[in-house]
A and B are shown apart, each in its own frame.
Chain A
């Protein structure tokens, strides 16, 4: 029963994630968007934890086998015991973030409708292209085949010279997760695991964006941002490729959302209970980003630098030092298997190829022009969806979105808020990092831009939508109570 085995492997992974969330999240009943946030965090951290565990298991045992199932179950059991033991001793905190606006049933129905119909569209697209794009076949799923190989030492084939074209240094989160599902299934023939990973991450990105904006701003803002993401040809064009760009973009968003949630929850509730578990989860998420793609390492670096700068400017370095340590330690747990992988693999081609000629590439005007032109082209007219699915994608939602931004306008006061400026700084710094990567690339720039610009945009797109959603003016017509007043009211009721 391979499909049942695959299903059980997914359930075990999610169980791992939910237990980690139960261990780290402040104890207590949360609001609906907070529950959604907990849900997507559990699902995806579980995927990352399973991948890391599987890779470490391979290093120790040197071959994939069904003994891994037992290992995973033992880890699950240990986590259950830990959660039960610790949660008994933890204090219940009124962690529910007060709603900024009254919830609207109509907007909730609209959110469900948009997600359900777009989910069907994505599912149909994935079923039309069950083997994904070329990189899925030649890189991600090929690596998974090696990792799931039942012969001793064969998993190290991903580092073999013969596979020089398959980017041997690429991190392994999606590949290892697919491989462990194949191990549960007892064979590598099924395309169910890669399809499942593709569908899972394509759906959790809009859900997370909605939950975050519902939590930090309003229901309307959450629905609109999710809608923009779901109709974007940029996003839809990547959903069925089975590449790692959507997963890594998801972890960029999750890390940022969890940090903002952790930073603001104390202020809102005035409880003086440090929610270090949320910082640990944000660290896990950042580690997962690094474990998914090399861009995730850049994100981790950018995220830490921006956080440090923000604390330095607010003169809160000393007070927040422990939280930063928790974050780094949690991310480090995922960086251990990544460190082994990088030690086994050859050096990254981009770094390896840097010579004295790099500087001349940096100052060559034609390269700057080519990158900026490609950026505008890919934002205004992404090609993948129309080229692969055979029909041109609609561009009018993008232009209507720009008109909407113009009409609603940004709130300068919000832009000056620490959390909002932090999201913008992380997103923009990532884009600058990508820009320099293009400038320094040893490959033909035109080819590199044509094959990767759209995917890089997909990675930062949800983060940019979050930043925009946090910066726009308040939309709701009805005046609302101040969050503190609502919190006090809800506390009185409970």
Chain B
């Protein structure tokens, strides 16, 4: 560490004509600071343009996520369309496969909701029967297990509240 610092120190000395108490070295550092501040202003403005001004509508919900678009994701869009009729959707997961679950998470229009009884319709991706509370809840009935899905939604089940 000391060696690295000495090298940096030496380089700074050579580049900056950086005699400790002279105006020359100090002025050089001030000019460098101003230049760097100007670059930072440009960076902040460009970051604002890049990440804030982009219209929300241009962003696809799932395609911008970290993983490749799999054939199963088409089902996700189908699912999304089908569920639009409902005002709120509960969503429960056991999170066994982070990549797949991540996609499902962004699909869910509400935060993970343990108080599922408030919802008319609930998506569940519990892969084991013991964890799947909706199976045993008489208030809910299975709508579909998404048999058409090949990858993405292979274990998702949709339950509807019995009226």
A residues at B contact (CB < 8 Å): 107, 110, 113-114, 117-118, 120-121, 123-125, 128, 131, 134, 137-138, 141-142, 145-146, 149, 157, 162, 165-166, 188-189, 191, 194, 220, 223-224, 227-228, 230-231, 236, 383, 385, 387-391, 394, 396-397, 400-401, 404-410, 412, 415, 451, 473-477
Query: Could you mark each residue 11-34 of chain B with 1 if its beta carbon is under 8 Å from any beta carbon of chain A, else 0?
Result: 111011010000100111110110
Taking CB atoms and an 8 Å cut-off, the chain B residues in 72-116 that contact chain A are 88, 93-96, 98, 101-102, 105-106, 108, 110-115
**Contact of A397 with B26 at beta-carbon distance under 8 Å, contacts A145-B112, A388-B65 already known:** no
Determine the residue in chain A with the shortest Cβ distance to B91.
Answer: A137
Whether the Cβ atoms of B66 and A405 lie closer than 8 Å is no
Q: Which of B45, B110, B112 contacts A189 (CB 8 A)?
A: B110
Q: How far is the CA of A128 from the CA of B33 in the complex (A)?
A: 34
Q: Is B148 an interface residue (CB 8 A)?
A: no
B residues in contact with A146, CB < 8 Å: 114
Q: Is B52 an interface residue (CB 8 A)?
A: yes
Whether the Cβ atoms of A121 and B51 lie closer than 8 Å is yes
Q: Which of A162, A390, A406, A475 contacts B33 (CB 8 A)?
A: A475
Whether the Cβ atoms of A145 and B114 lie closer than 8 Å is yes
Closest CB-CB distance, B17 to chain A, in whole Å?
A: 11
Interface size class of B (residues with CB under 8 A): 35 or more
**Contact of A117 with B5 at beta-carbon distance under 8 Å, contacts A404-B32, A477-B30 already known:** no
Closest CB-CB distance, A170 to chain B, in whole Å?
A: 14
Among A125, A141, A410, the most chain B Cβ lie within 10 Å of the Cβ of A410
**Contact of A121 with B29 at beta-carbon distance under 8 Å, contacts A110-B41, A400-B36, A473-B18 already known:** no
- Total residue contacts A-B, CB cutoff 8 A: 172
Closest CB-CB distance, B22 to chain A, in whole Å?
A: 11
A residues in contact with B56, CB < 8 Å: 128
Q: How far is the CA of A387 from the CA of B18 in the complex (A)?
A: 42
Q: How far is the CA of A93 from the CA of B12 in the complex (A)?
A: 41
**Contact of A118 with B94 at beta-carbon distance under 8 Å, contacts A113-B41, A390-B59, A400-B39 already known:** no
**Contact of A188 with B44 at beta-carbon distance under 8 Å, contacts A121-B52, A165-B95, A475-B33 already known:** no
Q: How far is the CA of A194 from the CA of B111 in the complex (A)?
A: 11
**Contact of A141 with B112 at beta-carbon distance under 8 Å, contacts A120-B52, A409-B9 already known:** yes
22 contacts between A and B (CB under 8 A): A110-B37, A124-B53, A137-B111, A138-B112, A141-B111, A165-B95, A188-B111, A191-B111, A220-B37, A223-B37, A224-B33, A224-B37, A227-B41, A227-B43, A230-B47, A231-B40, A231-B47, A394-B50, A408-B33, A409-B8, A473-B12, A477-B23
Q: Is B46 an interface residue (CB 8 A)?
A: yes
Whether the Cβ atoms of B41 and A391 lie closer than 8 Å is no
B residues in contact with A236, CB < 8 Å: 47, 51
Q: How far is the CA of A231 from the CA of B43 in the complex (A)?
A: 6
Q: Which of B28, B66, B94 contacts A165 (CB 8 A)?
A: B94
Determine the residue in chain A with the shortest Cβ distance to B113.
Answer: A145
B residues in contact with A405, CB < 8 Å: 8
Q: Is B48 an interface residue (CB 8 A)?
A: yes
**Contact of A391 with B50 at beta-carbon distance under 8 Å, contacts A227-B40, A404-B36 already known:** yes
Closest CB-CB distance, A177 to chain B, in whole Å?
A: 16
Q: How far is the CA of A125 from the CA of B98 in the complex (A)?
A: 23
Q: Which of B44, B96, B110 contacts A227 (CB 8 A)?
A: B44
Q: Which of A389, A415, A475 contacts B5 (CB 8 A)?
A: A415
A residues in contact with B108, CB < 8 Å: 131, 137
Q: How far is the CA of A409 from the CA of B16 in the complex (A)?
A: 9
**Contact of A224 with B105 at beta-carbon distance under 8 Å, contacts A117-B48, A410-B9 already known:** no
Q: How far is the CA of A141 from the CA of B111 in the complex (A)?
A: 8
